[in-house]
A and B are shown apart, each in its own frame.
Chain A
Amino acid sequence: MAKILIVGEVHNGELLEATLELVTLARNVGGELSSLVIGSGVAAVAEELSKKGGGKVLLADDAFLENYTVDAYTQVICKAIDAESPDLVLIPNTSSGWDVAGKLAAKLDTGIATDVIRIEEDGGDLVFIRRMFNAKFDARLRLAGSPRIATVQPGACEAFEGTEAGSVEALDVSGLESRTKFVELRQAPAGGHDLTKAEFVISGGRGLQKPENFEQLLKPLVEALGAQMGASRPVVDAGWLPHDYQVGTSGQIVSPKLYIAIGISGAIQHLVGMKNSNYIIAINKDADAPIFEVADLGVVADLFEIVPALTEAAVAAKS
């Protein structure tokens, strides 16, 4: 039977939902479960996790851990691994997850799979399933070494909802050091283009090819339909539109009545930003684009033919 250690994540003093998703995943894999809560003044969070299925919760509570630093977190996770000797360590695939996980695997000289969406048992061994090639393919990975490490995509499974007795144990976290020094948390400037309350969003992606096409092709459509314009990250990265047009994990999370994605492939980081829209239409020339998995209605065609025709029809419908 496997022993599993979950590395919990705390944001602003609250347990991240992704931690409870790891509880579900760990229970599906089966085995003895313990968890780790790292921070300063987070005893209540550890208590909460122990009641929400986290098993034996190790509490790493120290003023030095008030703010995340990769060095200190690596040391704490190693201490927890020494204490528990797990076969499998699960970490949420968040910004701190992808900062710490590779370092940890290199330190322990062990196998790791990142952004995992499922773990299956096959022939007495675990198989780690993740997306590759920007979601064009799924991949099955096998890991050697001990403990094996997986970072898990937030949202890949449901959060565990049961309640349990659980227990909390303090982890000795003396002697922590960090070369990286925390300076501050900054909020990226919000910008004036708020899409979070929009009823109707039409977003363009890399498929639009150049900035002029946002002005000459997409904008007339957006205006004819009285919608708001959004974009995927590459469009913003290239400076074609300002950051406050970006939809996704590192942009805005939108939930309009209707979302139209044009020339957008449907990478997970984009989907997270729009999949809760009431209705989704996707226009993409690639029938296998993952966007069609979340869309209600799809058009598999060249956007340079569809968009002008749609603009024309919209103008006609209004007059």
Chain B
Amino acid sequence: MKILVCLKQVPHKDARLEVASDGSWIEEGNLKFEINEYDTYALEEALRIKDAGDAEVVVVSIGPERVVQSLRTALGMGADRAIHVCDDALEKTDSLGVAKTLAAVAKDEEFDLVLMGLMSDDANYALTGPMLAERLGIAHAAGIVKETLSDGSVEVERELEGGSLGVVSLPLPCLLTTQTGMNEVRYASLKGIMQAKKKPLDKKSLADLGLTASDVEPKVTVEKIYAPLKGEGAEIIEGSASEVADKLISKIKELGLL
């Protein structure tokens, strides 16, 4: 069994985000980054399949030099090798460009399973998985909370609205995108981190993948990001903790709940 896990590196959850001077993205200069949370569940799921039997887990990330650190983390958690795709032409690409690039990575590898996050925590597009499946010509299911592999197929539970789960069965090879919470994600052990240093990490450019800049020319352009226009918003109460507490208690009394 050969599994590809796609990892995106995104700003750390607690990072304070500011709009960059060109107005179309955030200022990345001093930010801390981490593996997109949704993707950590995909990686954990792949590692569990590996633990339960025989599987090779390959992780891939597209991004600037900094993403190497996330790939090393993934290797430390137990992935077998990593592919880092880095190219200036990918900086302004869109989800389809990312999917085309990932498809080129997967082309000659014959993966049985491709696992990735439902959505990235920065862009929140939820597009790359289904796009990649289409480019690879394989079946997919988005937003899964459970998977059970059997010979040649996988049964998954997709999270639907109102607490229902859609159970579908897919033939291998296929692609699954993971919802958060589907497993308990492991940490890289010290031993794992030591071993990771010896694991292969290949760096590839677009040309290495047989692609050119025009292949990843974006169809989607983020023209501008900005703080949302504020509505009326909440009435903000101020004061010391005990003053605030007293005001809240009067409100709760006024609502007849105390």
Contact between A143 and B95, CB atoms less than 8 A apart: no
B window 34-73: CB within 8 A of A: none
- Given the interface pairs A102-B129, A298-B237, the reply to whether A71 lies near B139 with Cβ below 8 Å is yes
B126 to chain A: which residues have CB within 8 Å?
Answer: 98, 102, 114-115
- Residue among B11, B132, B165, B168 with the highest chain A CB neighbour number at 10 A: B168
A297 to chain B: which residues have CB within 8 Å?
Answer: 234-237, 248, 251
In Å, the complex CA distance between A308 and B245 comes to 9
Q: Output the nearest chain A residue to B160 by Cβ-Cβ distance.
A: A95
- B231 at the A interface (CB under 8 A): yes
- Given the interface pairs A188-B164, A233-B181, A292-B233, the reply to whether A103 lies near B258 with Cβ below 8 Å is no
Q: Output the nearest chain A residue to B11 by Cβ-Cβ distance.
A: A133
- Given the interface pairs A113-B220, A282-B234, A313-B245, the reply to whether A137 lies near B225 with Cβ below 8 Å is yes
- Given the interface pairs A103-B133, A106-B99, the reply to whether A190 lies near B220 with Cβ below 8 Å is no
Nearest CB on B from A71, distance (A) = 7
- B12 at the A interface (CB under 8 A): no
In Å, the complex CA distance between A181 and B230 comes to 45
A127 to chain B: which residues have CB within 8 Å?
Answer: 223
Contact between A99 and B142, CB atoms less than 8 A apart: yes
In Å, the complex CA distance between A299 and B227 comes to 20
B164 to chain A: which residues have CB within 8 Å?
Answer: 185-188
Contact between A206 and B246, CB atoms less than 8 A apart: no
B207 to chain A: which residues have CB within 8 Å?
Answer: none
Contact between B248 and A299, CB atoms less than 8 A apart: yes
Chain A, 189-227, contact with B by CB distance < 8 Å: what is the 0/1 string? 010000000011000001000000000000000000111
Contact between B167 and A145, CB atoms less than 8 A apart: no
- B17 at the A interface (CB under 8 A): yes
Contact between A141 and B223, CB atoms less than 8 A apart: yes
Contact between A138 and B242, CB atoms less than 8 A apart: no
A interface bracket (residues with beta carbon within 8 Å of B): 35 or more
- A279 at the B interface (CB under 8 A): yes
Q: Output the nearest chain B residue to A191 by Cβ-Cβ distance.
A: B163
- Given the interface pairs A101-B130, A225-B257, the reply to whether A180 lies near B123 with Cβ below 8 Å is no
Contact between B236 and A298, CB atoms less than 8 A apart: yes
- B208 at the A interface (CB under 8 A): no
In Å, the complex CA distance between A99 and B233 comes to 34
- Given the interface pairs A183-B168, A186-B164, the reply to whether A138 lies near B255 with Cβ below 8 Å is no
Contact between B242 and A313, CB atoms less than 8 A apart: yes
Chain B, 236-258, contact with A by CB distance < 8 Å: what is the 0/1 string? 11100110111011011101111
- Given the interface pairs A139-B225, A140-B222, the reply to whether A100 lies near B130 with Cβ below 8 Å is yes
Stretch at the interface among B78-86, B151-159, B190-198: B151-159
B window 80-132: CB within 8 A of A: 94-96, 99, 118-119, 121-132
- Number of A-B contacts defined by CB within 8 Å: 266
Nearest CB on A from B126, distance (A) = 5
Contact between A257 and B257, CB atoms less than 8 A apart: yes
Stretch at the interface among A22-30, A34-42, A52-60, A234-242: A234-242
- Given the interface pairs A101-B127, A106-B134, A249-B161, the reply to whether A237 lies near B181 with Cβ below 8 Å is yes
- A71, A95, A105, A281: the one contacting B96 at CB < 8 Å is A105
Contact between A206 and B13, CB atoms less than 8 A apart: yes
- A65 at the B interface (CB under 8 A): no
A window 91-115: CB within 8 A of B: 94-96, 98-103, 105-107, 109-115
- B221 at the A interface (CB under 8 A): yes
A313 to chain B: which residues have CB within 8 Å?
Answer: 242, 245-246, 248-249
- Supplied contacts A103-B130, A112-B219, 16 more A-B pairs, CB within 8 Å: A95-B161, A99-B140, A102-B128, A102-B130, A106-B131, A115-B126, A138-B226, A185-B166, A200-B257, A239-B184, A282-B234, A293-B230, A296-B235, A297-B236, A309-B242, A314-B258
By a beta-carbon cutoff of 8 Å, the part of chain B in contact with chain A is 11, 13, 17, 19, 26, 94-96, 99, 118-119, 121-135, 139-143, 155, 157-161, 163-171, 174, 180-181, 184, 218-231, 233-238, 241-242, 244-246, 248-249, 251-253, 255-258
Q: List 8 A-B contacts (CB under 8 A).
A: A105-B131, A133-B123, A190-B163, A225-B252, A282-B234, A293-B228, A298-B235, A305-B241
